[in-house]
Amino acid sequence: MLFLQTSQLTTDFNNRIYPGVRPATLCLFKYISQHWTNVNLKMILVTVGFILLVHSLPARTDSGDDVIKVIPHTSDELSHLIDYLNNEALQGHIDIWTMPKNVDKDGVFKIAHEYKIQTEAWLTKEGMDYSIITGDIERLIMNEEADKTSETIVTRSRLQTSDVNLKAFNDHNNINTYLRISVGICDICRLISIGKSYQNREMLVIKLINGYHRNDSDIMWLLDHFVYYILPSANPDGYMYSREYDRMWRKTRKPTLKVGCVGSDPNRNWKFHWAESGVSFNRCSGIFPGEHPFSEVEMRNIRRFLWRYRNRFIVYLSLHSYGQQWLYPWGYDDSLPEDWKELDRVGQRATNKIRDTSGADYELGSSTHLLYAAAGVSDDWAKAVAGIKYSYAVELADLGEYGFFMPAELIQPSFDEFWPALPEMSKAVQEFLDGIIH
């Protein structure tokens, strides 16, 4: 998550739980902290939180399960495929990685072994263009596990020379160690604990405040106008489980009321139109929204933190992977906020900057129009309940070549692609605050 806060307002930059975001956030923190300056009392809060961080190591695909890629080529095929994937009888046995939104756009899902014959028979009967990519995924996971040897434990002596290894996906403890050491050697950094996870892992926020400028004009401008808060891990238990046991785990780790079903979707657990769309009440489903709103302690921790500073937050960004999209509310249905044109204006500035600097095209629009309806998401709550004006969900690189399995060597390029959007977005927001835009 990333929160942008001025002396009156705050921005939240929130990450959903997907690959690439946590390392990118550490890159952001490292880059800013190396270019500190004197600043006014305005703040940007960067919180990388709801990333499913399926970029973890090591991981498995359940023995006998299949990963299937489907490309619907007609509107009828698209409609039938979406209906099949949403079939309640499959929930708890299917894990949808990407839901196809348009004709000729692929969908990817993992199906439990006991349903794969039935599913493949249905796809064949419908004449669907599909392929089994299980072997490709397993090879990517094996490559990730081999890369784990490059992950390093942070020590003070190492931090003083080359800092945390940003070319690897670091675990939760390593990230927290990096944050704790950083506050001792970075005079613009402050550390805030917002609580602990269900399994007692501490959730730390790093705050970037006034300091001394070095030589980067973008950093100087950002810190002259805003203060940043960064929450690198919003679902630490789920993240660690994905590293140690199940590569594609996306939920929390609190047991549900059904024996054998663990965890809730952290980004469907927020109390705004909770469970009205895009969820399953099968407690084993990957999109189970929880027993009730804010049933998950991690989400309560973040809610409490946001609510405390709600009158000062101005932007909320929720980072996800993948798909290269810049999304604004609403997520629960296809309606739009009253100020959607202003959300679109700022989003256009950000996406244009990405295209101009890297050539990457990011789609811009509402979550439901570009993806699908999903109620109880954090960016809807941030705007509607906390009153954070600019609330976005950003789907980061790529377009599907690696998807949730982006290799570690692309961490830095992913950050380089996204970074220019942050100062450009902030400048567009400042135009509104200065009264240039009405």
List, as one string, the DSSP characters of 307-342.
HHTTTTEEEEEEEEESS-EEEES-SSSS---TTHHH
**pLDDT (mean) for 189-205:** 96
List, as one string, the DSSP characters of 155-222.
-HHHHHHT-S-TTS---HHHHHHHHHHHHHH-TTEEEEEEEE-TT--EEEEEEE------S-HHHHHH
* pLDDT on residue 11: 34
Q: Cβ(111)–Cβ(119) under 8 Å?
A: yes
Between these two residues, 405 and 367, which has the higher pLDDT value? 367
CA angle 388, 347, 224 (to 5 degrees): 65
Positions annotated as catalytic residues are 395
Give how far Cα 342 sits from Cα of 10, 155, 332, 389, 434, Å: 17, 45, 20, 9, 14
* pLDDT on residue 184: 83
* pLDDT on residue 10: 36
* pLDDT on residue 433: 92
Give how far Cα 371 sits from Cα of 8, 241, 321, Å: 33, 27, 13
Crossing angle of helices 421-433/340-358, nearest 10°? 150
List, as one string, the DSSP characters of 392-419.
EEEEES-SSSSGGG--GGGHHHHHHHHT
Whether omega before 129 lies within 30 degrees of 0, making that bond cis, reads no
**pLDDT (mean) for 170-188:** 87
| Whole-structure pTM value | 0.85
Strand 313-321 to 390-396 pairing = parallel
| Paired strand residues for 390 | 315
Task: Please determine, for residue 300, whether its predicted confidence score (pLDDT) is greater than 70.
Answer: yes
Residue 179 CA to its chain's centroid (Å): 20
Those residues whose C-beta lies under 8 Å from the C-beta of residue 146, and which sit 6 or more positions away, are none
Sorted by where each starts, the structural domains of the chain and their CATH numbers stand as 2-56+155-239+294-433 (3.40.630.10), 66-146 (3.30.70.340)
- Provide, rounded to the nearest whole percent, the portion of the chain with pLDDT above 70: 79
Q: Name which of 175, 60, 64, 165 is nearest 117 in CA terms.
A: 64
- Mean per-residue pLDDT of the chain: 82
113-129 pLDDT, tens per residue?
889 999 999 999 999 99
326-353 pLDDT, tens per residue?
999 999 999 999 999 999 999 999 999 9
Task: Please determine, for residue 78, whether its predicted confidence score (pLDDT) is greater than 60.
Answer: yes
Give the single-character DSSP code of 275: T
Q: Cβ(249)–Cβ(238) under 8 Å?
A: yes
Whether omega before 322 lies within 30 degrees of 0, making that bond cis, reads yes
Task: Please determine, for residue 280, whether its predicted confidence score (pLDDT) is greater than 60.
Answer: yes
Q: What are phi and psi of 395, to 5 degrees?
A: -90, 115
- End-to-end C-alpha distance for the chain, whole angstroms: 27
Burial of 335 (0-12, 13-18, 19+ CB in 10 A): exposed
